Amino acid sequence: MLRELDYKQAVATMSATLQELGVSLDIASKREQIQEYEQKINQQDFWDDNEKAQKVLQKSSDLKNIISEYEGLNSDLEEIEILIELGLEEEDESIENDIEKSIELLEDKIDKVKIKTLLDGKYDDNNAVLSINAGTGGLDAQDCAQIILRMYLRWADQNNFKVKTLDLISDPEAGIKSATLLVEGTNAYGYLKSEKGVHRIVRISPYNSSGKRQTSFVSVDVTPELDDNIEVEINPNDLKIDTYRSSGAGGQHVNKTDSAVRITHIPTGIVVQCQNERSQFANKDIAMKMLKGKLIQLKELENKERIEDIQGTYSQITWGSQIRSYVFQPYKLVKDHRTNAEIGNVDSVLDGNLNLFINEYLKMNKMKNK
* Segment 255-288, tens digit of pLDDT: 446 788 888 888 888 888 888 777 888 888 888 8
Sign of CA dihedral 287, 292, 297, 302: positive
Q: Which amino acid is at 94?
A: S
Ordered by start, the domain boundaries in the chain are: 4-116, 124-370
What is 4-116's CATH number?
1.20.58.410
- Smallest CA-to-CA distance from 3 within 108, 101, 105, 100 is with 100
87 or 335: which leads in pLDDT: 335
- Give every CB contact of residue 359 below 8 A, 6+ residues apart in sequence: 115
297 or 322: which leads in pLDDT: 322
> Which ranges constitute the DSSP H helices of the chain?
4-25, 27-41, 50-90, 96-116, 138-158, 188-192, 251-256, 280-301, 346-350, 355-368
- Give every CB contact of residue 50 below 8 A, 6+ residues apart in sequence: none
Average pLDDT value for residue range 171-194: 89
- Smallest CA-to-CA distance from 203 within 320, 323, 343, 331 is with 331
Residue 211's pLDDT band (boundaries 50, 70, 90)? confident
Burial class of residue 22, CB neighbours in 10 A (0-12, 13-18, 19+): middle
What is the tens place of the pLDDT at every residue in 106-163? 999 998 888 888 887 888 888 899 999 898 777 888 999 999 999 999 999 999 999 9
Q: Count of residues for the chain?
A: 370
What's the CA gap between 203 and 193, in Å, rounded?
A: 26
- Give every CB contact of residue 111 below 8 A, 6+ residues apart in sequence: none
| 95 contacts 86 by C-beta, under 8 angstroms | yes
231, pLDDT greater than 90: no
| 133 contacts 218 by C-beta, under 8 angstroms | yes
Concatenated DSSP letters of 280-318: HHHHHHHHHHHHHHHHHHHHHHTT-SSGGG--S---S--
In this structure, the number of other CB atoms found within 10 A of the CB of residue 237 comes to: 7
What's the CA gap between 173 and 306, in Å, rounded?
A: 44
Q: Which amino acid is at 314?
A: Y
What is the tens place of the pLDDT at every residue in 28-67? 888 999 999 999 999 988 998 887 888 888 888 888 988 9
pLDDT, position 242: 86
Residue 358's pLDDT band (boundaries 50, 70, 90)? very high
91, pLDDT greater than 90: no
| 244 contacts 274 by C-beta, under 8 angstroms | no
Quote the mean pLDDT of the chain: 84
What is 124-370's CATH number?
3.30.70.1660
